[in-house]
Homo-oligomer: A and B are copies of this chain.
Amino acid sequence: MQNPPKTLPELKAIVAERYSSLSKRLAQVAQYLLDNPDEIAFGTVAVISKDAGVHPSTLVRFANTFGYSGFSEMQGLFQQELLQDTPSYQERIRLAQQEMHDEGTVQEPHLLNQFVSANTKALEHLAQSVPLRDMERAIDILVNAKATYIVGVRRAFVVSTYFSYALQHIDRRAYLIDGVGGMYKEQASTMMAEDALIAISFYPYADETQNVVVSAIDKKVPLILITDSSLSPLASIAEVCFVVKEAEVHTFRSLSTLLCLAQSLAIGLAYRLENQQKN
């Protein structure tokens, strides 16, 4: 190796390329290097090697393998990268917009930026608008539920699958009512009063979801509702109701805040269960 990469992106590319042919320990370093560039920029050989779980000399060998005289030389790339003016997020948006203006052509700003902006705002709104009390009540219900059923269609189905995944992840009985084989009714029929139902429903409030909820209410199954309006037809019969305003970009509704809420509920539940176990 004679021509070591001169910039971090180049190095990363080459490391990724050669990764599969690296020995065990060198691969370990490669992994760490790609995942924790910041640590490498500031850390010492001793600290980094410990953190990456390899011997200090392995770092030097790694650097040598990629053509550097030693670890320090390679480390320089990581420092260099950090020094490159990383303009703040807002500034980048501003620059992008200005660039658009300058070019004269009416083109889209980087779509990702629009989404990030929109979702960030929506997330902040979420934190402000959801009462802590509702979170606690919802978690109460989930703690006491022998099983948790989840229903939601189309866009809401995405959130349903997350709930299903997350709850099973923390060893809760979760049943996703997905209507496979057109069996909404059948899947919902095993719900009992000591269970719980999480329903996610947005305008235009699909009948499938409504029907499942109604049959649950008949059986006195407590309902946690996640919806887009406090005037949603199910809002009044829900034990707990979360009203979530999603970000919207060019008429496309987002899901980030919903997922964020779902996660918070799942982890809140996990905590509660842990604490119960201790006592």
How many angstroms between the C-alpha atoms of A19 and B119 in the bound complex? 30
How many angstroms between the C-alpha atoms of A180 and B79 in the bound complex? 49
- The residue on B at minimum CB distance from A93 is B127
Cβ contact within 8 Å between B231 and A263:
no
How many angstroms between the C-alpha atoms of A161 and B20 in the bound complex? 32
Give how many copies assemble into the complex: 2
Whether, in the assembled complex, A88 has its beta carbon less than 8 Å from a beta carbon of chain B, the answer is yes
Q: Which residues of B contact A256 (CB under 8 A)?
A: 119, 123, 256, 259-260
The residue from B12, B112, B158, B261 contacting A161, defined by CB atoms under 8 A apart: B158
Cβ contact within 8 Å between B260 and A119:
yes
Whether, in the assembled complex, A105 has its beta carbon less than 8 Å from a beta carbon of chain B, the answer is no
User: What is the distance, in angstroms, from A162's C-beta to the closest C-beta of chain B?
Assistant: 5
Mark out the residues of chain A between 224 and 266 whose CB falls within 8 Å of any chain B CB in the assembled complex: 229-231, 235-236, 249-250, 252, 254-256, 259-261, 263-264, 266
- Identify the stretch in A28-36, A50-58, A188-196, A205-213 within 8 Å (CB) of chain B at 4 or more residues: A28-36
Q: Which residues of B contact A155 (CB under 8 A)?
A: 165
Whether, in the assembled complex, A171 has its beta carbon less than 8 Å from a beta carbon of chain B, the answer is no
Known contacts A127-B112, A264-B112, A267-B250; is A231 also within 8 Å of B16 by CB? yes
Q: Which residues of B contact A34 (CB under 8 A)?
A: 229-231
Known contacts A158-B161, A256-B259, A263-B115; is A83 also within 8 Å of B86 by CB? no
Using a CB–CB cutoff of 8 Å, the interface residues on chain A facing chain B are 12, 16-17, 19-20, 30-31, 34-35, 38, 42, 79, 82-83, 85-90, 92, 108, 110-116, 119-120, 123-124, 126-128, 130, 132, 135, 154-155, 157-158, 161-162, 165-166, 180, 229-231, 235-236, 249-250, 252, 254-256, 259-261, 263-264, 266-268, 270-271
- New contact pairs (11) apart from A30-B231, A157-B161, A249-B263, CB-CB < 8 Å: A86-B90, A89-B89, A110-B127, A111-B135, A115-B267, A120-B124, A154-B165, A158-B158, A162-B255, A254-B263, A256-B259
